[in-house]
Amino acid sequence: MDDKDYLFIATPSLYILSNAKKITACNCIRDGRAVIVILTKGLIETPNGIRLVTDAVEDQLPGTCRNRLVYLSGPSHAIEVAQSQITGLISASRSGLNSIGVRELLSGGNLVVFSSLDVKVVQVSAALKNVVAIAFGMLDALKRDSAGWA
């Protein structure tokens, strides 16, 4: 794993910080050569308070990794990608080159990836979409189970 150009972290938020610490043993991370692509959604509780995923992960990595993180997000499910359904994602990084690199690496067929420099807004949007989805699920249940719902 020491000579990789890209390293994808797709782990539940509960474990992402411990996994980020583990990858620091790789030469490509210590040397700052690998682009680290984070797929984990949500906010993370740290000793310094609630943090965005990329901020919390970056704190665990050596300084050579500054601006090497890319946050990959979008309204997608792995099963839909596997079924070749059209899927859109966004690759967000403070580094335009890294954002575009991930976009170019993943785009093709039915997978469309857009680039962004606004990492914070993409992460907050990803976290908030789940809250909105839960609210609409509750409304669907109310409509289904309530005779008086119009």
CA 118 from centre of chain: 13
The residues that bridge with 92 in the sheet, in sequence order, are: 71, 116
pLDDT tens digits, one per residue of 71-104: 999 888 778 888 888 999 999 999 999 999 999 9
Residues of the chain with pLDDT under 70: 1-2, 147-150
Domain 6-145 top-level CATH class = alpha beta
pLDDT at 150: 58
pLDDT at 78: 79
pLDDT at 1: 58
CA trace torsion 116, 117, 120, 122 (10° rounding): 0
User: Catalytic amino acids?
Assistant: 129
